Every structure is written in structure tokens, then in C-alpha cells.
Amino acid sequence: MSVGSPRLRPGTPDDAWVCGRICYEAFGTLAEHHRFPPDFPSPEHAAETLGRLLAHPRFYSVVAELDGRVVGSNFLDERSTIAGLGPITVDPGVQNAGVGRRLMLAALERASGKQCPGIRLLQAAYHNRSLSLYTTLGFNVREPVVTLQGPPIGEAVPGYTVRKAGEGDLEACNRVCAGVHGHDRSGELLDAIHEGGASVVEHGGRITGYTTGIAFFAHSVGETNEDLKALIAAAREFGAGAERRGLSLEPRPRAQGRPGDDADEPRALQRAGRSLPPLDPLLNLKAHLIDRTEGNPFLLEESARTLAVVRR
Ligand SMILES: CC(C)(COP(=O)(O)OP(=O)(O)OC[C@H]1O[C@@H](n2cnc3c(N)ncnc32)[C@H](O)[C@@H]1OP(=O)(O)O)[C@@H](O)C(=O)NCCC(=O)NCCS
């Protein structure tokens, strides 16, 4: 499809509703196509999320217009050393015509202007078109990520104390993050502390891990798996309360039709001559995890198979 060249401009809080509706429809159409639950339960929810990003001074936003009509947006989280990219969404009616690539290039240009040493993003594992786009822009697949949903566990790990984080904990938390990842995520953590959503775990009389929320748009770091287990076990909710957000955790029937006709199918990508990292082990992850989680209080949320992708 050819749609002409989009005009790009910075986003403003006034774009929240139109960009939110596109974000809801872009993710929803894709999820429905693959019979996964949607990432955003309603246009209002998506507009609220994007509205927060559009108003945040440390998020860069870019909006694409075609003939004066908004058709997509992209965001760059500039709160910490490594920039976080997304969500990027394009109106389903004009996808596969280069708008997404332009929005990506704008964000990458911004990141190089800011001399970001790296950029990270998460993408749905079932969306091979976005994977094509990201890999041709220099991103590498780093690791599979899985979201598990379910009621809070409400347990403690002996020897590990979890409590709410305060500003006085920032330095110790940043030290943990720098020790694990080589950089801190101070700006994101500070926001979570101010919003009251951050927790720390203490072991042996010192802070050994923290979380900004066990959810999308959040992160957790621990020196050991025990630290992370303690944070997860103490979480008051997962994924900001999937059920509260109206997301169904019931598996859906598979889509009908020939997989080879589906642009997001690996075979379609092969036909297009794409060179992709070996994905099979990642795509088998769900089965692997279902085996491992059998009998515990978690329910695997299918929609949540995501890939961590980073660009240096
Ligand atoms: C991801 C998204 C923003 C891309 O927007 P878009 O305008 O469709 O993107 P473009 O047209 O610029 O690029 C699409 C890519 O898919 C590729 N593609 C399309 N059909 C394909 C097919 N059948 N086989 C292989 N590749 C295909 C295109 O070639 C292009 O990659 P390239 O530029 O490297 O060649 C859009 O699909 C979207 O909104 N998706 C839903 C939300 C989402 O998943 N966001 C990303 C996760 S944060």
C-alpha cells in the first residue's frame, strides 16, 4: 500500500485521545488476529496511558499525520541512561506503508542526539512485522520475557523483608541496578517512588533489590533470584490488576486460515527473505513455562509473550 509521506511533529497532551484510540485499535486488531487478549482493554485506558506520557517532560513523543489526520505515534522514555522506546502504534488502516519506520527513525534520531548509549524495547512475540522493522533498524533480540497473571501470592521469603521504597532508598537501589545491569534506572525509579508504587527488598541488613511494580511499564532488579522471588511474593497485584482492567485470562480459540497467509507468521517472513534470529526456542517458551507453572497460583497470560530487544 502507498499512502504518501507522513508529516511528523512533536506530540502534545491534546493528542491523547486520538493517539490513544489508534494505540487501542493497533494493539487490539493485532491481538485479535492472533487470538490473544488485548494489551489495552479500552480506548480510554490507552488514552489515559498515552496522555501521561505526552504530558511527561522526560518522554519524547512524535506524532505522524497524513493529510492533516493523526495516524500514529511513538515515544522515547528519556528518564534513565538507556532510553526506552514505545509504545509505537500506527492506525491499522495505514499499516505496512512505511509510517512506522518514519516514527522509529524519528525516535532513533532523537536518541542519537541525546547520545543515549543504548535503547531498549519490548515487543509482542507474535508480531513478526514489527520484529522485521526493528531488526532492519539495528535492534537485536536479547531475551524472551513472559508475563504471568494471577491473584497476589501474599507470601514472604524467609530472611527477605519487602517494604515500600522512599526517596532515601534511591542511591542504594541505583547501586543494585548498576551492579546487575551496568547502569541505573534512577529516573524511572524516582517516578515510581513519588507515585507510591516502588518497593525494596532487604537481606542481611541492606537493600538487595527493588521493584517499580510487577507490571508492564515497570521493572524489577535483584542481586539474586531470592530477592526477586521476595518482591514477586509480596506484590499486591500483577500487571496493574489484569482482571481489574477487564482483561480476560481465558485462552481463546486459534485463528482459522492458512498460517502462510499471515504476514506475522515466520514462514511469511522467510518468503520475504528476512534473516531473523532463531525464534523457535523463544516461541516454544509458552509451553515450557506452562509445564513449570503447573499447580502454582499463577495463570499464564497468553498475550504476554514478549521479546526484549535492544539496540546499541
Ligand atoms: C509496529 C507498527 C507500529 C509498524 O507500523 P507500520 O506503519 O505498519 O510499519 P512499516 O510499514 O514502516 O513497517 C512494517 C514492516 O513490516 C514488514 N512487513 C510487512 N509485511 C510483511 C510480510 N508479509 N513479510 C515480511 N515483512 C513484512 C515491512 O517490510 C516493514 O519492514 P521494513 O521497513 O524493514 O521493510 C504497527 O504494525 C502497529 O501499530 N502494530 C501494533 C502495535 C505494535 O505491535 N507495536 C509495536 C510493539 S511496541
- Give the residue from 56, 28, 33, 32 showing the smallest Cα distance to 43: 28
Helical ranges in the chain per DSSP H: 16-33, 43-55, 99-113, 128-136, 170-181, 186-195, 225-234, 266-271, 280-283, 285-293
Q: Give, for 83, the enclosing helix (H) or strand (E).
A: strand 83-85
43 vs 23: CA distance, rounded Å: 8
Q: Residue 210: pLDDT above 80?
A: yes
pLDDT averaged over every residue in the chain: 81
183 vs 246: CA distance, rounded Å: 36
Would you say the CB of residue 89 lies under 6 angstroms from ligand 1?
yes
Q: Is the peptide bond before 278 cis (omega within 30 degrees of 0)?
A: no
Beta-carbon contacts of residue 102 (< 8 Å; ≥ 6 apart): 5, 6, 8, 64
Give the type of residue at 78. Answer: E
Cα of 117 from ligand 1 centre, angstroms: 25
Best probe residue, ligand 1, of 75, 90, 136 (max atoms within 8 Å of C-beta):
90
In this prediction, residue 261 carries a pLDDT of 46
In this prediction, residue 254 carries a pLDDT of 46
102-142: pLDDT as tens digits: 999 999 999 999 998 889 998 888 888 898 899 899 888 88
Return the ligand 1 atom nearest residue 89 CA. 39
Higher pLDDT, 126 or 26: 26
From the centroid of its chain, how far is CA 30? 15
Residues 122 and 309: beta-carbon distance below 8 Å: yes
The pairing of strands 59-66 and 7-10 is antiparallel
**CB burial string 2-15: b at 16+ within 10 A, e below:** ebeebebeebeeeb
Higher pLDDT, 311 or 201: 201
Return the ligand 1 atom nearest residue 85 CA. 48
217-253: pLDDT as tens digits: 899 999 999 999 999 999 988 765 444 444 444 444 4
Helix axes 99-113, 128-136, angle to 10 degrees: 40
43 vs 28: CA distance, rounded Å: 10
Cα of 277 from ligand 1 centre, angstroms: 17
2 vs 67: CA distance, rounded Å: 13
> Which residues on neighbouring strands pair with residue 26, listed in sequence order?
none
Per-residue pLDDT band for 14 (boundaries 50, 70, 90) equals: very high
**Does the pTM exceed 0.85?**
no
Q: Residue 293: pLDDT above 90?
A: no
Would you say the CB of residue 306 lies under 6 angstroms from ligand 1?
no
In this prediction, residue 35 carries a pLDDT of 81
C-alpha pair distances (Å), 172 with each of 178, 214, 222: 10, 20, 12
In this prediction, residue 56 carries a pLDDT of 97
In this prediction, residue 310 carries a pLDDT of 56
Q: Residue 301: pLDDT above 60?
A: no
Higher pLDDT, 30 or 271: 30
Domains belonging to the chain, first-starting first, are: 7-116 (3.40.630.30), 161-283+300-311 (3.40.630)
47-64: pLDDT as tens digits: 999 999 999 999 999 999
Give the number of other CB atoms < 10 A from CB of residue 41. Answer: 17
